[in-house]
């Protein structure tokens, strides 16, 4: 089977004009005091929504936001997202104060052709994320009653078997939206015959979060660059002391295995040669650059904590990236939220904008970092909207939200 698309949906249900189309987006944006701090996921939903609006569909947008634990919680309301969506679409967007009850039913019934409504946070209903198949199916049935067809476009949730992602796609004629189709095209280019040299840059806090993707990609890549908190487990695996830096002792043997495998496969494993070590985990912490094999020799001794790759490493990483034809990057190089420890992440991001080839920012914290550091989305080949989903795809896992759309 092949992925069902908007074109195949038209083949199934005919003209979309006047049809109620439920669109499962991923509008899980960061909020601070009710204000969206990064609207990247909202903007990523626009191509599919505009395609449906232009086709005369009556568009019912649904999404989750945060983890409200199956009950309404005002701080996780999608109301600010509906407002932002209205601004970006340049037209009124209605907002239903519940997911499937009276407000949602009335709002959907009031839609005109080309109109848009956003339902309240799906996770205000326990059926959305229930472990019980029947409970999820029952909630999906109530959602399905609001629509004639379903478009799945929330790539960030396709690795989850949740009611609006999986069961809803079974209960209505369903297809993938343009965002999912784009994400899959890019990920396919990363796994099937990528242009070489092919470099993967991994950061973030924990090696354990990246075990699957390292295992799956080692046979496929030319270079693996390791930064972020996970670098200290690699350094420790090589026998270096890392002071009070983040260390997963239970992963040392696994990491030693990766180091050995990289050598055997001829993969260039690039680890930091210098590190920014701080007196503590704080934006204003005293800090200095030390050699990666001399972390405990910093002014802070055994209490020092590594919070970024050093300038020499940043330059080496940037050179390796610029020398590549294909780059996948997931995970910041340091604590980019603190300006003093953002230089490594910024150097990687800058280099990714300069490659002659495909540069992919793998969603999650990496996407948040590039925007916070002042980069524009269009400076990169692609910014994924689904960090976890991207990693699981690259691990070779089956994703239920894709399988239900025909992707095998």
Q: Is 64 annotated as a binding residue?
A: yes
Active site residues per annotation: 41, 206, 364, 388
Measured CA to CA, the distance from residue 3 to residue 9 in angstroms comes to: 11
Q: Is 121 annotated as a binding residue?
A: no
Q: Is 210 annotated as a binding residue?
A: yes
Q: Is 66 annotated as a binding residue?
A: yes
Q: Is 86 annotated as a binding residue?
A: no
E strands present in 264-321:
268-270, 274-278, 287-291, 305-309
User: Which one, of 95, 65, 63, 66, lies nearest residue 79 by Cα?
Assistant: 95
Q: Is 331 annotated as a binding residue?
A: no
Token representation of residue 131: 């472990």
Q: Is 217 annotated as a binding residue?
A: no
Give the single-character DSSP code of 164: I
Asked if residues 151 and 48 have their Cβ atoms less than 8 Å apart, the reply is: yes
Q: Is 172 annotated as a binding residue?
A: no
User: Which one, of 211, 333, 316, 349, lies nearest residue 276 by Cα?
Assistant: 333
Q: How is the beta sheet containing 116-118 ordered, strand by strand?
A: 94-95, 116-118, 58-62, 20-24, 149-152, 174-176
Q: Is 363 annotated as a binding residue?
A: yes
Q: Is 10 annotated as a binding residue?
A: no
Q: Is 65 annotated as a binding residue?
A: yes
**Looking at the DSSP assignment, which residues form a beta bridge with residue 152?**
24, 176
Q: Is 366 annotated as a binding residue?
A: yes
Give the single-character DSSP code of 273: S
User: Which one, of 254, 252, 236, 255, lies nearest residue 244 by Cα?
Assistant: 236
Q: Is 26 annotated as a binding residue?
A: yes
Q: From residue 113, give the alpha-carbon distance in Å to each of 49, 53, 106, 109, 350.
A: 13, 8, 15, 11, 44
Q: Is 257 annotated as a binding residue?
A: no
Q: Compute, in degrees rounded to 10, the torsion defined by CA atoms 80, 84, 89, 93.
A: 20
Token representation of residue 63: 């999404």
Q: Is 4 annotated as a binding residue?
A: no
List binding-site positions. Answer: 26-28, 41, 64-67, 123, 160, 210, 306, 337, 363-366
List binding-site positions for ATP. Answer: 210, 306, 337, 363-366
List binding-site positions for substrate. Answer: 26-28, 41, 64-67, 123, 160
List binding-site positions for (2R)-3-phosphoglycerate. Answer: 41, 123, 160
């Amino acid at each position: 089977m092949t992925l069902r698309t908007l074109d195949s949906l038209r083949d199934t249900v005919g003209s979309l004009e006047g049809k109620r189309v439920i669109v499962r987006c991923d509008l899980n944006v960061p909020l601070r005091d009710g204000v969206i701090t990064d609207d990247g996921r909202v903007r990523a939903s626009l191509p599919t929504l505009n395609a449906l609006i232009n086709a005369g569909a009556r568009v019912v947008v649904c999404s989750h936001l945060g983890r409200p634990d199956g009950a309404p919680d005002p701080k996780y309301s999608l109301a600010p997202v509906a407002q932002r969506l209205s601004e970006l679409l340049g037209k009124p967007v209605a907002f239903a104060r519940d997911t499937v009850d009276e407000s949602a039913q009335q709002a959907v019934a009031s839609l005109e052709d080309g109109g848009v409504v956003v339902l309240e946070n799906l996770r205000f209903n326990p059926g959305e994320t229930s472990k019980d198949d029947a409970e999820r199916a029952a909630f999906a049935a109530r959602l399905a009653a609001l629509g004639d067809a379903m478009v799945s476009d929330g790539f960030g949730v396709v690795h989850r078997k949740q009611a609006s992602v999986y069961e809803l796609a079974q209960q209505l004629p369903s297809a993938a939206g343009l965002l999912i189709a784009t994400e899959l095209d890019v990920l396919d280019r990363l796994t099937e015959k990528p242009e070489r040299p092919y470099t993967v840059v991994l950061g973030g806090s924990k090696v354990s979060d990246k075990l699957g993707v390292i295992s799956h990609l080692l046979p496929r890549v030319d270079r693996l660059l390791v930064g972020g908190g996970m670098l200290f487990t690699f350094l420790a695996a090589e026998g270096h002391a890392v002071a009070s830096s983040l260390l997963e002792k239970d992963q040392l043997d696994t990491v030693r295995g990766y180091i050995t495998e990289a050598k055997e496969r001829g993969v260039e494993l690039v680890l930091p040669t210098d590190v920014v070590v701080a007196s503590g985990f704080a934006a204003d912490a005293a800090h200095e650059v030390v050699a990666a094999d001399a972390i405990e020799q910093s002014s802070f001794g055994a209490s020092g904590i590594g919070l970024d790759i050093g300038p020499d490493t940043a330059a080496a990483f940037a050179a390796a990236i610029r020398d590549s034809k294909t780059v996948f990057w997931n995970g910041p190089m340091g604590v980019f939220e603190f300006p003093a420890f953002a230089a490594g992440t910024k150097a990687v991001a800058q280099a990714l904008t300069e490659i002659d080839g495909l540069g992919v920012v793998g969603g999650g914290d990496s996407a948040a970092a590039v925007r916070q550091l002042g980069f524009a989305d269009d400076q990169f080949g692609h910014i994924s909207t689904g960090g976890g989903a991207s990693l699981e795809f690259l691990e070779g896992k089956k994703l239920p939200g894709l399988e239900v759309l025909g992707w095998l």
